[in-house]
């Protein structure tokens, strides 16, 4: 045999597996709650069209949730146990970001969904193959940004003051999302290491900060598409 | 040729088509709203298990809604236009039956889903083949009654007074559902004729009443499975 052997893939460490499990638990509960909240917010939407769109967004989130539950079971985990620690921070995020009207609700879906996608793309590189496939399948679900862009643009045309209010709202959403993610990450070293792509313990908040910076840049581009100042 | 000709199937009348369209519009909006309400109610559920279960029930309703939208489009109809007239009665039903806690929300899903299934079975015989296939596919979605039966039985074991309250609640749900269905039906003769399986105009409220009686009998059997007086 040739001496030019390809290096063996390193065996997955227990820490890595635990981190992926935690990550799926966090994402799973976040998707479940996002789906249920969207549906609740949809009931306050003025027209049938908006209600239907928000109902579809809700269904998509609940479907992601089901895929994560399936994956956790494949990994021999109990989904409820794994999600339990993330109930408090996710619920806190939503308590602190209750939309005052359906327009804020739409922007919340747009901003939240966008950041979630970018976050998934970041972490997809650092997880095992089965989990990567799951994350990529979730990313393939059709993006329905056009509807939000149209609705927000129309609302700003009708009342330009809306732009300032929604820009502030979007900033608050991102701030709260980052705050809650930090709370979760600082208490879980293996999870934080994996999220920033580190190979061993010893990553710090600065690494996490750099990932947030990348996410905020992409968020800014999305805000621009809405016609809002990031 | 033999004289023993099989009679030709009567061509579908325009009235029949209109009635099926109206029926799908009514069911479609009812499923959409039921799905969104269930999700909203799920947010108030105490444990993750109940929230997940209700989230799944919500997804199933939203999926039925999507199938009805697809069918209406196949029939060349605009789903939103067709659903519009049913917004007021369906919303009125929900305004008048707001669950005070998650247990009432669970019973609402159980009762509502059960009656909807029986109603679909009744009408499936009277509609065109494409619509019948749709209705039957919706009926095939797995029934998850066991969860509700377990939760309600546990709650009654813990506090027997719950049984009386939930029995009253279920009665109110059925009463309101029948009232709103009557409002809808009496204004739409073709729809009412089709619902009760009549071949021509001239059916009356007594025919509708007989269908309701059958649905109430089946509802009573379901209440028995919950350990509640119908």
Instruction: Confirm or reject contact between A39 and chain B (CB < 8 A).
Output: yes
- Distance between A174 CA and the closest CA of chain B, angstroms: 22
- Distance between A123 CA and the closest CA of chain B, angstroms: 26
Instruction: Confirm or reject contact between B88 and chain A (CB < 8 A).
Output: no
Instruction: Confirm or reject contact between A91 and chain B (CB < 8 A).
Output: no
- Distance between A83 CA and the closest CA of chain B, angstroms: 9
- The percentage of residues in chain A with a pLDDT greater than 90, rounded to a whole number, is 45
Q: Are A61 and A35 in contact (CB under 8 A)?
A: yes
pLDDT at A157 over 90: yes
Average of per-residue pLDDT across A158-173: 93
Encode pLDDT of A132-141 as tens digits: 888 888 776 5
Domain boundaries, chain B: 14-226
ipTM at complex level: 0.75
Nearest CB to A37 within list B43, B49, B59: B43
Q: Which chain A residue shows the shortest CA-CA distance from B43? A: A36
Name the residue among B22, B1, B20, B4 with its Cα closest to residue B12.
B20
- Distance between B197 CA and the closest CA of chain A, angstroms: 30
Q: Which fold has domain B14-226?
A: Ferritin (1.20.1260)
Q: Alpha-carbon distance A103 to A163, whole Å?
A: 11
Nearest CB to B52 within list A32, A40, A42: A32
- Chain B contacts of A98, Cβ < 8 Å? none
Nearest CB to B35 within list A39, A63, A69: A39
Q: Alpha-carbon distance B206 to A113, whole Å?
A: 52
Q: Which fold has domain A14-141+171-218?
A: Ferritin (1.20.1260)
Q: What is the pLDDT of residue B164?
A: 93
Residuewise pLDDT in 10s, chain B (230 residues): 444 444 444 446 777 788 889 999 999 999 999 999 999 999 988 889 889 999 998 998 999 999 999 999 999 999 999 999 999 999 999 999 999 999 999 999 999 888 888 888 888 888 888 888 888 887 765 566 788 899 999 999 999 999 999 999 999 999 899 888 888 888 888 888 888 877 666 667 788 888 889 999 999 998 998 888 87
Q: Cβ contact (<8 Å) for B40 and A39?
A: yes
- Chain B contacts of A37, Cβ < 8 Å? 43
Q: Cβ contact (<8 Å) for A55 and B63?
A: no
Q: How many residues does chain B have?
A: 230
Q: What is the pLDDT of residue B1?
A: 45
**A168 or A195, which is more confident:** A168
Long-range contacts of A27-31 (CB under 8 A, 24+ apart): A27/A64, A27/A68, A27/A116, A27/A120, A28/A65, A28/A68, A28/A69, A28/A72, A28/A79, A28/A82, A28/A83, A29/A83, A29/A86, A29/A87, A29/A90, A29/B48, A30/A86, A30/A90, A30/A116, A31/A61, A31/A62, A31/A64, A31/A65, A31/A68
């Amino acid at each position: 045999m040739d001496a030019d052997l390809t290096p063996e893939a390193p065996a997955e460490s227990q820490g890595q597996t635990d981190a992926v499990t935690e990550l799926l638990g966090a994402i799973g509960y976040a998707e479940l709650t996002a789906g249920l909240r969207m549906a609740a917010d949809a009931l306050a939407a003025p027209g049938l069209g908006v209600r239907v769109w928000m109902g579809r967004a809700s269904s998509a989130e609940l479907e992601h949730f089901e895929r994560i539950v399936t994956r956790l079971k494949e990994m021999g985990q109990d989904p409820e146990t794994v999600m339990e620690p993330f109930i408090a921070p996710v619920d806190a995020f939503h308590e602190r970001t209750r939309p005052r009207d359906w327009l804020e609700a739409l922007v919340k879906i747009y901003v939240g969904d966008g950041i979630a996608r970018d976050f998934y793309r970041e972490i997809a590189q650092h997880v095992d193959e089965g989990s990567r496939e799951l994350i990529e399948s979730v990313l393939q679900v059709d993006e329905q940004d056009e509807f939000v862009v149209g609705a927000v643009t129309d609302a700003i045309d009708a009342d330009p003051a809306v732009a300032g209010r929604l820009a502030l709202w979007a900033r608050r959403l991102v701030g709260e999302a980052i705050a809650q993610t930090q709370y979760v990450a600082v208490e879980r070293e293996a999870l934080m290491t994996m999220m920033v792509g580190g190979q061993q313990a010893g990553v710090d908040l600065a690494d996490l900060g750099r990932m947030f910076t990348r996410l905020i840049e992409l968020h800014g581009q999305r805000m621009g598409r809405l016609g809002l100042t990031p």
